[in-house]
Structure 1
C-alpha cells in the first residue's frame, strides 16, 4: 500500500467526487496525505493526482456505508460534506476508512480526532440550519418570495425540504450570499443553483410598508424592563442580524439593493 507523504488527491469539489476519491484509494491501495477541492492549494513538493468523478463508483461507495458501517454514519458523511470543518475532505475520508475497519461502533469513538471533529461540525451545521428556519425573512419581488442569508455552513440542502413543505404553493428563492448559491422553488420543484451575484428589482412600496410594520411590531412587543442583550444574542446571534428585517435601517427598508459578494 502506498503511503507517500506527498501524494495529494484533487477532485471536482462535488460530494460524488469525494466518494470517488475513497474508491480510488481502495482500488489503487494508496492513502493520500490530503484531498483538495478545485480551489485548494497543494504544497510545493506534493504529487497531485486528479480523481475523475464517476457516478457508478460514487454510488457503490455511498451504498456501502450503511452496510459496512451504519445508516447514521452515512448521514454523518453526507452532512459533514456541507460543513466548514477544517480539511473536510480528509476528515471524511479518514472517518470512512476507520469505519470500514471497526463498523458501527465508530459513531461512539469520540476520542478519535476525525470522528469528534466531524460530529461537532455536523452539530454546528444542523444548529445553524435550525436557527435559519426561524430567522429567514422573505420579501416580495414580482410576486416571488426572496430571502438572503449569509450562513457559515452550506445549509441550503438542509433547509430545502422544510421550506418546500411550508411554502409548497409559492415561488420562492433563498440566496446564500456566502456560498454564491440559491435554493429555488417553483411549480413544486426544488433545485440549488450557483449564482455569483444577485441584483433585485426595485422594491415595491407595499413590501416597504410590510417591512416598516414588522419593525413596528417587533418594537411594540418588546418589554423594556426585561431587555437583556446577552440573552437575545444567545437565542438570536449577531451573525444573523445583517439579514433580519428587525434590524434594517430606514434606508434598507426602502432602497433597491445590489447583493454582491466581496
Structure 2
C-alpha cells in the first residue's frame, strides 16, 4: 500500500477507526499521520476529518470477519484498545498483512508495525491480569461497586473475569482514568463511556465488616516484621488508591 503525505483525523472510536480503514483500503493509500481529538491538540497539522458512519463501520467489520482468521481479527481489535504511539498507522499495516495470509500474526512480529502492537497488547493484558487480583468490591445496597484507575483501556477485558466468578451478582466498576462505567447484571455487561463516577455509600453492614477486618489485621500484624519494600513488590502503590484496605 502506498503511503501519502497526508494527515487524517477521526473521533478515536473503534467505529471511527473502521471508517478510516475503509477509506485507506478503498483509496489504496495510507496517510503519514493519523490524529484523534486528543493528539490533534498537540499537533501543528490540520487533519482531514473522517466522519464516523456506524452502518459503514459494521459493514467493514463484517468484511474483516470474512477475510481474517478469528485469531488475527482478535489481535487487531485488542491492539486498537492498547496504548501505543501511532497505533492506527501500525494497525493499518497489520491489517494489510492479515488480509494477505491465513497464518497467525504472531509469525510476523519481526515486522516494524506488528511488533509494537504485540508489545502493547502484552502490556494491556498484563495490567488486566493484575487487576483480577487487585480490584476490591464493596456492597452498595445489593450492588457490588469498585473503582479503578488503570493506565490502559483495561476495563472491557476485565469484566469477563468477574462475570465468570460472580455470575449471579449485580456489579458496577468505574474506570476513573478513561471515565468508563461497566454495569454487570447477572452476566450481561454494559459499558457507558464518558461517565461520571456514581455517588455511592457503603451500607452500614458493609462498613461494619470493613471495620472488623481492619481490626483483625491490626491485631495479627507484627510491626517488627513489616517490610514496605517487599510489600510494594507484591502490591504496587498505583493500585492502592482505590483498594478498601487502604482507605
Structure 1: gaps spanning 5 or more residues: 249-262
Question: 1:238: which partner in 2?
Answer: 237
Q: How many residues align?
A: 243
Question: 1:3: which partner in 2?
Answer: 3
CA gap 1:219/1:104 in 2 versus in 1, 3 angstroms: farther
Residue number among 67, 75, 86 corresponding to 1:64 in the alignment: 67
**What's the TM-score once normalised by structure 1's chain length?**
0.81
Cα deviation, residue 243, structure 1: 0.7
**What's the TM-score once normalised by structure 2's chain length?**
0.85
Alpha carbon RMSD of aligned pairs, Å?
A: 2.5
Question: 1:215: which partner in 2?
Answer: 214
SS in 2 for 1:120: helix
CA gap 1:223/1:74 in 2 versus in 1, 3 angstroms: farther
Tell me whether 1:181 sits opposite 2:180 in the alignment: yes
Matches within 5 A, 1:143-158: 143-158=142-157
Cα deviation, residue 244, structure 1: 1.1
Matches within 5 A, 1:18-37: 18-37=17-36
Matches within 5 A, 1:126-205: 126-205=125-204
Q: Partners in 1 of 2:45 and 2:136 — Cα distance?
A: 48
Question: 1:258: which partner in 2?
Answer: none
SS in 1 for 2:48: strand
Q: Partners in 2 of 1:33 and 1:219 — Cα distance?
A: 58
Contact kept, 8 Å, 1:3 with 1:30, in 2: the verdict is yes
**Structure 1 residue ranges, 4+ long, deviating more than 6 angstroms after superposition:** none
Contact kept, 8 Å, 1:150 with 1:176, in 2: the verdict is yes
Structure 2: gaps spanning 5 or more residues: none
Q: Partners in 2 of 1:195 and 1:31 — Cα distance?
A: 30
Q: Summarize deviations over 1:42-94 as a string: whole Å, max 9, x none.
A: 7444451414331112321244221xxxx432222111122222222222222
Contact kept, 8 Å, 1:164 with 1:185, in 2: the verdict is yes
CA gap 1:246/1:202 in 2 versus in 1, 3 angstroms: closer
Contact kept, 8 Å, 1:148 with 1:174, in 2: the verdict is yes
Matches within 5 A, 1:5-154: 5=5, 7-41=6-40, 43-53=43-53, 54=56, 55-66=58-69, 71-101=70-100, 104=103, 106-154=105-153
Q: Partners in 2 of 1:198 and 1:22 — Cα distance?
A: 33
